[in-house]
Amino acid sequence: MKKILGISAFYHDSAAALTIGDEIIAAAQEERFTREKHTPDFPTNAIKYCLEEAGLEIDELDAIVFYDKPLLKFERLLQTYYSFSPKGLLSFLKAIPVWVKEKMFLKKLIYDGLKEVGSYNKDNVNLLFPEHHLSHAASSFFPSPHEKSAILTIDGVGEWCTASIGIGDGNTIKILKELEFPHSIGLLYTSFTYYLGFTVNSGEYKLMGLAPYGNPKSEETSKFIELIKNNIVDIKDDGSIWLDQSYFKYATGLKMTNNKKWSKLFGFNRREPEAEIEQYHCNLALAIQMVTEEVVLKMAQEAKKITGSDNLCMAGGVALNCVANGKLIQKNIFKNVYIQPAAGDAGGALGAALAANHIYFGEKRKVNSTNDNMKGSYLGPDYSEKEINLMNKKVKAVFNKYDSYSELTNEIANHLDKGSIIGWFQGRMEFGPRALGNRSIIGDARNLEMQKKINLKIKYREGFRPFAPSVLAEDAHDFFEIDQPSPYMLNVSPIAAKRKKQLPDNYFDLSMWERLYTTRSDIQSITHLDFSARIQTVHKETNARYWELINTFKKKTDYGLVINTSFNVRGEPIVCTPYDAYRCFMSTEMDYLVIDNFVYAKTEQLDWENKEKWRVKFKMD
Amino acid sequence: MEALKDLWNFIQKRKAYWLAPIILILLLIGLLLVFGGSSAIAPFIYTLF
């Protein structure tokens, strides 16, 4: 069995993954260790962790695989500058030193980075470079439960490719069709993220969360859709797109959009970050979300047409657009839709390793037709009781240790029922952007105040942002219109009709905040303005402890679901270690913290009112 | 040297011979720019390069 290390680095979301044969031993993002969100740094810590988890040294690896082809990317850069010249001089002057200094010598960068991890003999290193979209495709298809499947990858850009359709069969992947830079649905969505005042490459989620505040019935929304489709993007029948580059700056400049042209087209200037959000911002967010959904659906239809498969595997940053995913699943174009939980570039590290194993080394693939091979995406580090005790001693924590897990879940379920907010930390950290019950903040979804409280007093983030539920897999249909499991929180579906409350007739005349606080369902805190929710189905087989907690809450309340949001504050990577969790707990208004079998009550901690003492300043995202 | 060898192999494989003189000049200009250059351009643009 081949022992392979996959790496993604130097752009955003650096990560490492280690596979032995078919088995994914470990995978983690570097940001969790360095505490710098989306870090592009070489993933020294993540590699160290992966090797430790596997009990391997660098010299024992059969291959080290980087997730894209740097020279092909360089060719794209040069050809782009050449095509657009003399425009783009400033961008050229910024990009070329980076390449001449570092990225053209990527092998050296990797060798130097590996030296930081441990000693090794360079002659033993077999360094491989699969294409970016092949890494994405492999990250989704190879761990999937399908022997054969259509594959759709969509992101900003890799080397040249911005979207691809392929077919996976056994241990092979064949790319059948590609869309190339500068025409990119990912870059289009990111351009709107930028224009609406959110941070490029991290604010896309905010844009998606803002879209349901748009009025789908308003003339303005329809006009925005028309303007986008008539001026900015030409959508072809096969889902490929053509972007009018006169509206963009990303190919030649140092920002995403040509703001003058956009403000003339849409009738308002770019929103300044943190400025007040107006209804026209929401309507534009809805418009681009709807255009994106149209493109994704058309691409999926094309994938169906040319592969004839009943299955679809998806990856790439755009596959994290769970609203589009939900629409795709509801359309029933494919019987089964599988999405890699780390669909962004971090997952490229895993895909690169798997591509090397199956395609380069030709290793056969064992397909588990009931479950995927992602182990619930719980692929990161866990911490022993000894390590937790050391942390307790270091911070002088006051805690109760439970020998009985059922007693612990009983107590926590009681606290949840009374409106407390819990930091929930257990077992191995999740790989990918979502917290799935091992590094989560949880609360009672029925509680009307919870959405506001968690946003403003726990996460210190924008008040409009929605929350997602973790629901017992077997109870999901009782709360949501959902047919397929959604273990990775990548599917947005409507809540069940019986849960909905009647909206007032003047609903769309209300301000966005009045609409937000209008009661919409009996699970108000996870019901978004359009009656949708980003669902995580919790399965006993992949996370028995978390399932047990929610089940205990159900026994008390009849509700087998809780709010689940990532364990962090705005701008902070999700917590990794028990210390990260304790520090985050102490710097917010969380009421209780649970680390495995240890329970910490806020008011029992020393100096618990002094939040500032524990606060770390993170760069706003 | 390994990087230059890789680059030449890449140019041959892709038959992108037009890249060769550009890269050569870039390497020369680039070396000059390196001394005054900085790569801090986030967060206004997607990490295209």
Q: Using a CB-CB distance cutoff of 8 angstroms, which residues of chain A are in contact with residue B30?
A: 96-97, 99-101
Query: What fold is seen in the domain A144-339?
Result: Nucleotidyltransferase; domain 5 (3.30.420)
Average pLDDT of A91-101? Answer: 85
CB of B49 less than 8 A from some CB of A: yes
User: What pLDDT shows up at residue B44?
Assistant: 65
Residue B41 has pLDDT above 60, yes or no: no
| Candidates B7, B23, B44; nearest CB to A256 | B44
- Range of lowest pLDDT (A55-64, A84-93, A123-132, A259-268): A84-93
User: What pLDDT shows up at residue B28?
Assistant: 79
Average pLDDT of A157-185? Answer: 97
ipTM above 0.90, yes or no: no
Q: How far is A93 from chain B (nearest CA, A)?
A: 8
User: What pLDDT shows up at residue A95?
Assistant: 87
Confidence grade of residue B37 (pLDDT, cut at 50, 70, 90): low
For domain A1-132+348-367, the question of CATH label 3.20.20.140 is answered with: no
Average pLDDT of A61-89? Answer: 93
Confidence grade of residue A195 (pLDDT, cut at 50, 70, 90): very high
Of residues A577, A578, A573, the one with CA closest to residue A14: A573
Mutate to test the interface with B, among A101, A190, A255 (most CBs of B within 10 A): A101
Q: Where are the beta strands (DSSP E) in A306-354?
A: 311-315, 336-339
Q: Domain residues for B29?
A: 2-36
User: What pLDDT shows up at residue A234?
Assistant: 98
The reply to whether B24 falls in a domain is yes
User: What pLDDT shows up at residue A329?
Assistant: 96
Confidence grade of residue B1 (pLDDT, cut at 50, 70, 90): confident
The reply to whether B8 falls in a domain is yes
**A219: Cβ–Cβ under 8 A, 6 or more apart, which residues?**
none
Residue B40 has pLDDT above 60, yes or no: no
Q: Which CATH code is given to the segment(s) A385-614? A: 3.90.870.20
What percentage of chain A exceeds 90 in pLDDT?
A: 92
Confidence grade of residue A133 (pLDDT, cut at 50, 70, 90): very high
Are A1-132+348-367 and A144-339 in the same CATH fold? yes
Residue A279 φ then ψ, to 5°:
-60, -35
Residue of A nearest to B48 (CA): A157
C-alpha A586 chain-centroid distance = 26
Confidence grade of residue A621 (pLDDT, cut at 50, 70, 90): confident
DSSP string, A576-617: -SHHHHHHHHHTS---EEEETTEEEEGGGSTTTT-GGGG---
| Candidates A94, A99, A156; nearest CB to B46 | A156
The reply to whether B48 falls in a domain is no
Residue B43 has pLDDT above 60, yes or no: no
The reply to whether B32 falls in a domain is yes
User: Domain total for chain B?
Assistant: 1
DSSP state of A290: H
Token pair belonging to A192: 């709107």
Average pLDDT taken over every residue of chain A: 96
Average pLDDT of A50-57? Answer: 98
User: What pLDDT shows up at residue B42?
Assistant: 45
CB of A97 less than 8 A from some CB of B: yes
User: What pLDDT shows up at residue B36?
Assistant: 55
CB of A161 less than 8 A from some CB of B: no
| Alpha helix ranges (H) inside A344-400 | 345-355, 385-395
Of residues A284, A195, A191, A299, the one with CA closest to residue A244: A191
User: What pLDDT shows up at residue B35?
Assistant: 60
Mutate to test the interface with A, among B17, B32, B48 (most CBs of A within 10 A): B48
Domain boundary assignment for chain A: 1-132+348-367, 144-339, 385-614
CB of B13 less than 8 A from some CB of A: no
Residue A517 has pLDDT above 60, yes or no: yes
User: What pLDDT shows up at residue B4?
Assistant: 84
User: What pLDDT shows up at residue A60?
Assistant: 97
Of residues A368, A331, A436, the one with CA closest to residue A146: A368
Q: What residue type is assigned to position A400 of the chain?
A: N
Average pLDDT of A528-555? Answer: 97
Residue of A nearest to B10 (CA): A71
- Higher pLDDT pick, A95 / A567: A567
Q: Using a CB-CB distance cutoff of 8 angstroms, which residues of chain A are in contact with residue B45?
A: 200, 249-250, 253-256
Confidence grade of residue A236 (pLDDT, cut at 50, 70, 90): very high
CB of A95 less than 8 A from some CB of B: yes
CB of A200 less than 8 A from some CB of B: yes
